[in-house]
Copies of this chain bind each other. A is one copy, B any other.
C-alpha cells in the first residue's frame, strides 16, 4: 500500500514561472478571482436547477456524462460501459466501478486540463486532500457521496456558491422551455438561467430525423411547416419564443460555415423535394448553407447573437455511436474555413446594426489567418474563446498569442465553458482567468502594457466582453 500523496492545488498554479511575471499575474488575478461567473454557452440541463434534487453519486456527477473524462479513459482501455455511459441510472456498484476506473487511471490525465479542473474541483468543492489512486478510490467515493447528501451540495446551493451570474443552456427550437419558465416563476430562485436556440437539425434536410423534427417544430410553433414559407415562419416564431424566455443567442454547429443564399424559388423547390424525400445530398447541403444565411437575416431582425461552432466530424466511430449514442468522445475536428465561407453573409450583414457573430473553432490555424482578421474589421464579428479540445492552458495562451496582436482583446468573446459537467464550471473559469492573468502579466513584464491596463483588460474579459458579445 503506497502512502497517500497530498492533493493541494497551489495558489500560484498556472501562473508563469518567472518570479517577476508571476508577481504581476498574482496581482492581476487578485482583481478578478472573485468576480461572478458568466456562462453564456453550455450544456447543463435547466431542470436540475428547477428540481434541485441531490446529485445521485460521484460517478454520475463527475465521470459518466463528461466526454472529456471518458474519452481518455476509453483510449486507455476502459470500456465506456464500465464508466457508466448509456447505462441509465447507475447502481452503487456501477457507480463505484466507474469512479474506481477514474482513480486507477489518474496518471493518464497528467498534463491535461481535466486534471487541472479535477484538482480544483475535488479540493475546493469536496474537500478532497489526497491525490486519487486505486488505493483511495473507495474512500474518496464515500467522501464525495457524503457531501452530495448534504443540502449545501444541492444544485441551487452550488449555483450560489459558484457565484454564477448567468447560465445559458442549449435547447431544441421545439422545446417548450418549461423548466426555464418555471425557474423564472419560482420566487425562491434568484439566479438567471437562459435558453439558447440551437436549430441544427432543422436546417439539415439530409438527416434521417429531419421530417420528424419539422413535425415537432410545426407543433411547437403552431404553424404548418408543409411549405417553405411556413417553415421560415415557424423558425422565426420559435426564435421569438426563445427571446421571450430570455435567450440572447442562437448556436450553430455544422460541418462547415458556408453561407450561400438561394433564390427563394430555389429554396422553396429544394424544401419541397426534401419533404418528398427526393432532395439530393448536394441540394440538402445547399439548403443548409442557405438557411445559415437566413439565420443571419433573422438575427438582424430579432437581435439574437449568432454563434458558430463548425468543423467537427461527429460520431467518428460508428460502432460506439450505435451502442452508446452521440457525445461519447469521438467527435473529431477537421479543417475549418471562414474567410470565403462567411463572405456572402458578411457582405450582406457584416456591418448591420445589432448583428453579432461569434466564431469558435477547434482548428487553431484559423485564429491568426481568418478569425482575428475578420474580428479586426467587422464590427459584428467576435473571436470566440478557445473551445472544446482547446479550452486548456497552453491552447488558451496560443489563442491569445495568435488573436491579440491582430484583433486586440476587445474583439474577443470572453471564456465559454461549454460544459455538461456542472461542478467543473468554476474550475474552468478559474483556469481561464489564471491563464489570461498570466498572459497579461507577460505583456506588462515586457513593457507592452501598463499594469492598470492589464487589470482593466482582465476584468473586461470576465465581465464586459461576454456581456457585449452575447448581449447578456
Task: Classify chain A's interface size.
Answer: 35 or more
9 A-B interface contacts by CB (under 8 A)? A76-B411, A108-B408, A109-B408, A110-B443, A111-B404, A316-B343, A329-B377, A333-B339, A369-B389
CB of A376 within 8 A of chain B? Answer: yes
Cα–Cα distance between A411 and B376 once the two chains are bound (Å): 32
Q: Report the nearest B residue to A390, measured CB to CB.
A: B368
- A77: which B residues are within 8 A, CB to CB? 379
Task: With A5-B450, A351-B320, A393-B405 as known contacts, state yes or no: A74 contacts B333, CB within 8 Å.
Answer: no
Q: Which chain B residues lie closer than 8 Å to A318 at the CB level? A: 347
B393 and A343 contact, CB distance less than 8 A: no
Query: Taking the complex as formed, is A165 at the interface, i.e. its CB lies under 8 A from any CB of chain B?
Result: no
Instruction: Determine the distance from Cα of A363 to Cα of B445 in the docked complex, in whole angstroms.
Output: 29
Asked if residues B405 and A112 are in contact (CB atoms below 8 Å), the reply is yes
Q: Which residues of B contact A72 (CB under 8 A)?
A: 376, 407-408, 411
> Does A405 lie within 8 Å of B377, measured CB to CB?
no
Q: Give the Cβ gap from A116 to chain B, nearest Cβ, in Å.
A: 6
Scan residues 177-191 of chain A and give those whose CB is less than 8 A from a CB of chain B: none
* B interface footprint on A369-397 (CB within 8 Å = 1, 0 otherwise): 11011111111010000000110111100
Contact A339 B317 (CB under 8 A): no
A38 to B372 CA separation, bound complex (whole angstroms): 30
Q: Which residues from chain B contact A21 at a C-beta distance below 8 Å?
A: 17
Q: Quick one: which of B332, B378, B400, B442 contacts A339, CB cutoff 8 A?
A: B332
Tell me whether B449 and A110 are in contact (CB under 8 A). yes
* Interface residue from B347, B362, B409 paired with A317 (Cβ < 8 Å): B347
Q: Which residues of B contact A449 (CB under 8 A)?
A: 110-111
Given contacts A319-B351, A450-B5, contact A406 B112 (CB under 8 A): yes
A351 touches B448 (CB 8 A): no
Nearest B-chain residue to A434, judged by Cβ: B446
Interface residues of A (CB under 8 A from B): 5, 9-10, 12-21, 71-72, 74-77, 107-113, 115-116, 131, 313, 316-320, 329-330, 332-335, 337, 339-340, 343, 346-347, 350-351, 362-365, 368-370, 372-379, 381, 389-390, 392-395, 398, 400-402, 404-411, 442-443, 445-450, 452-453, 456-457
| Closest B residue by C-beta to A382 | B75
Measured CB to CB, the nearest residue on chain B to A113 is B405
Which residues of the partner chain B approach A411 to less than 8 Å between Cβ atoms? 72, 75-76, 108
Shortest CB distance A283–B (Å)? 22
Are B373 and A369 in contact, with the CB atoms below 8 A? no
A179 to B417, CA, bound (A): 57
**Closest approach, in angstroms, between the C-beta of A450 and any C-beta of chain B?**
7
Known A-B contacts A5-B452, A364-B369, A449-B110; the reply to A392 vs B410 at CB < 8 A is no
User: Which of A9, A15, A76, A378 has the most chain B CB atoms inside 10 A of its CB?
Assistant: A378
Distance in angstroms between the alpha carbons of A14 and B71 in the assembled complex = 34
Given A16-B446, A316-B339, list of 17 further CB < 8 A pairs?
Answer: A5-B450, A15-B446, A17-B442, A71-B377, A75-B377, A107-B457, A108-B408, A111-B400, A111-B404, A111-B405, A316-B347, A317-B346, A317-B351, A318-B347, A364-B369, A394-B402, A395-B402
Q: Evaluate whether A13 and B447 lie within 8 angstroms (CB atoms) in the complex, with A108-B410, A376-B72 already known.
A: yes
- Report the Cα distance A50→B368, complex, angstroms: 38
Q: Which residues of B contact A317 (CB under 8 A)?
A: 346-347, 350-351, 377-378
A12 proximity list for chain B (CB < 8 A): 446-447
User: Given known contacts A332-B374, A339-B332, A339-B333, is B379 in contact with A74 (CB within 8 Å)?
Assistant: yes
Instruction: Decide: B377 and A74 in contact? CB cutoff 8 A.
Output: yes
